[in-house]
Amino acid sequence: MESGWVPDNTQAGLQQENWSPGEPQPSFWTGLEVEKKDIVIPVTTFRCPNCGYLESYAIPQSQNGVLVSGTSSSQRQRTAMLIALGVMALLIAFGVALLIRVR
């Protein structure tokens, strides 16, 4: 089996799939809300090069004995939304400044 990963296509682009404990809750803005955001484990997928069979595992990664978790897709979506709102605010401010300057 060879190691790989399954991309999660979001508005922020391709991200690595993650596993979170508990049940997802519906959210108006982000689709689903994750209960325990601090516990997120990246999903690693293994593929058989002969038959193409896939097996996915949520394997906690460690650095120097300390477990490292990823970022949930809801956190990525929230970050992307905040960046988009900031860009929109800058564009509106720039447009208003141009309108004031033309008069």
pLDDT per position as a tens digit, 45-67? 889 999 999 998 887 766 554 45
Measured CA to CA, the distance from residue 14 to residue 21 in angstroms comes to 22
Residue 45 carries which side chain, given as an amino acid letter?
T
Rama region for 6: left / alpha / beta (φ>0; ψ in -120 to 50; rest): beta
Calculate Rg over the CA atoms of the chain. Answer: 20
Q: For the chain, list residues with pLDDT below 50.
A: 65-66
- The structure's pTM equals 0.47
